[in-house]
Structure 1
């Protein structure tokens, strides 16, 4: 790993040619998104997969990531006309706590397969931050299947949550979906705090509730399956108090995480990014209310881009030798292939 400003490759000058490019990867709970871009980060071709990278005893599985990535990158290189990849940036969900094998093996694998000389490995929260705010102090909550908050004063990174669906990711899609399904099975049992509306939605989506454990527990993609129910919770929130309460609790958890990482001085920016916010007002309204209570000194801004845009920004800066986001062994490291 290199230091904060020693980012390795020489800048790509005017003579670099149209065939020189960079690679950006966003690996999340719902699959992979991959872009080959010119050396300044302008996207030339993109591909995606809906299969999440496996996590096992060694953490994130670098072999499974490469198994998916290699054929996609080959197609993208052919489509884009790029023949030399100057750098790569990979944003991966779970990297901070489950990324040891990925850090040990992925840069070398990308070097062998595609001749990539330098690779930035980033937690998906860091790519979300770079896409949303760029190199400015503040905090970003990235919420999709999971949830993590990351903040920086541009000297060091701070993170909160991102512990996965069994220990945390509080307020994320899997958390909302699980809470909605719990309310459904409570209604099925006749226990308090159940929701008949969510029970109906659960049976429409998954079939009889009695079969629900068998459809969830054996699944390796269980977080994504749980998160698939979150939109049904949002759809019920307008007329069902239990669903409304779930989204209010989710908003409270989100802003608690933002407050834990947000710089305390000045007027830091706070942004929310990720597919979960496509649920709209049922979630956005309680988030705004919680921000006014917990972070009155912060300025909420619209995210400029998503985590894939953040990976593109990081890799373009890496190729140009201008990457200034703080390095961190767990959150953002730059390594040679």
Structure 2
């Protein structure tokens, strides 16, 4: 696969928002994030169109565009359709399309080996070995997984609040908030709404609320278990690079300290080298390397 020399576009499309970067000049744009129940391809295209328009790149010839998307379609035919539509929208000769966990991994670990856990609105972990074999852990969505994510923490906090108000659970300062969680039910963005309660839980935990502290410790334990599963999927006994990305980790040592204590001996926890958008930029402008089997490549006029 040749290395692009012309204009390139990198996109990180998560649940909280979509970000676009034009390379090499660095122009940027943003669009709405992926919402569960969105109208699939149409919603993704609309978000990319908005971000590309803001960056002023619409209509310019683009050599390669790489997009890491939470809303990556499950059906291969939908993937091809989305890639073709993106190629037309962005006037791109080549589209490189993958789930956002792949671009997060590429941004966090430049060598392409190790485990990256991304915990934002949702949570997912990707382990990649030296030969490019990968293993995904969690990322099962807000109903069945995403342990330790902002949604998971926010939901646990809201549940604790309601139990305390009912007299079914231990007292917590969360119950004294002027907040009616039941009002969230009709919201079309309820997953994001619940996730936005996480900073409240973290604040009360930092102030010494026992219930909130327990939620944070449970989140750290769940994230550590996810990382351990990723490490265990990699052969050998050597240390494994581990990086954490995503908004949940903005809590800093409040979450990282108990997480670190719960990691297996092989975990070599290190700061992420870059962001998921940096990873998309890397995969848009260089060889795919260990991610080749994780990225769908579509060339305009030549099929996939």
TM-score of the superposition, structure 2-length normalised? 0.90
SS at 1:258 equivalent: helix
Residue 3 of structure 2 corresponds to residue 22 of structure 1? no
Deviation at 1:83, TM superposition (A): 3.0
Q: Report the equivalent of 1:296.
A: 265
* 1:45 correspondence with 2:27: yes
From 134, 140, 148, the counterpart of 1:157: 134
Residue in 1 aligned with 2:190? 222
Q: Quick check: 1:139 aligned with 2:115?
A: yes
Query: 1:249: which partner in 2?
Result: 218
CA displacement at 1:298 relative to structure 2: 2.1
* 1:99 Cα deviation after fit: 6.0
Partner of 1:235: 203
CA offsets per residue over residues 171-225 of structure 1, 9 Å max, x none?
0000000000000000110112x44311224x2xxx3x3xx22x32222322211
**Runs of 4 or more consecutive aligned structure 1 residues displaced over 3 Å after TM superposition:** 10-13, 97-102
SS in 2 for 1:130: helix
**1:1-337 alignment runs, 5 A limit:** 7=1, 10-12=2-4, 20-38=6-24, 44-49=26-31, 51-56=32-37, 61-77=40-56, 83-95=60-72, 98=74, 100=76, 102-154=78-130, 155-192=132-169, 194-201=170-177, 203=178, 207=179, 209=180, 212-213=181-182, 215-238=183-206, 239-262=208-231, 263-265=234-236, 266-291=238-263, 295-317=264-286, 322-328=287-293, 331-337=294-300
Secondary structure of residue in 1 paired with 2:290: coil
- C-alpha separation between the residues in 2 aligned to 1:60 and 1:120? 22
Distance 1:98 1:235 in 2: 37
The superposition leaves residues 259-317 of structure 1 with CA deviations (integer Å, 9 ceiling, x where unpaired) of: 112224222100101111111222111111111xxx21221111011111111111111
Whether contact under 8 Å (2:22, 2:57) holds in the other structure is no
SS in structure 2 of the partner of residue 53 of structure 1: coil
Gapped runs of 5+ residues in structure 1? 1-6, 14-19
Structure 2 CA distance for aligned equivalents of residues 242 and 334 of structure 1:
47
Deviation at 1:101, TM superposition (A): 6.2
Residues 135 and 324, structure 1, Cα contact 8 Å, conserved in 2? no
Preserved contact between residue 34 and residue 70 of structure 2 (Cα < 8 Å): no
Count of residue correspondences: 295
Whether the 8 Å contact between 1:244 and 1:282 is mirrored in structure 2 is no
Query: C-alpha deviations, 1:88-111, integer Å up to 9, x for none?
Result: 11111153x746465132211122
The CA RMSD measured in Å over matched residues stands at 2.1
Larger RCO (alpha carbons 8 Å, 6+ apart): 1
Taking structure 1 as the reference length, what is the TM-score of the superposition? 0.81
State the 1:60 CA deviation.
Answer: 6.8
- CA-to-partner distance for each residue in 1:140-172, whole Å, 9 max, x for gaps? 000100000100103211101001111110100
Say if 1:195 and 1:240, in contact at 8 Å, map to a contact too. Answer: no
Q: Go from structure 1 to structure 2 and tell me whether the alpha carbon gap of 1:127 and 1:78 turns closer, same or farther (over 3 Å shift).
A: closer
How far off its partner does 1:28 sit? 0.8
Q: Is the 8 A contact 1:162 1:169 kept in 2?
A: yes
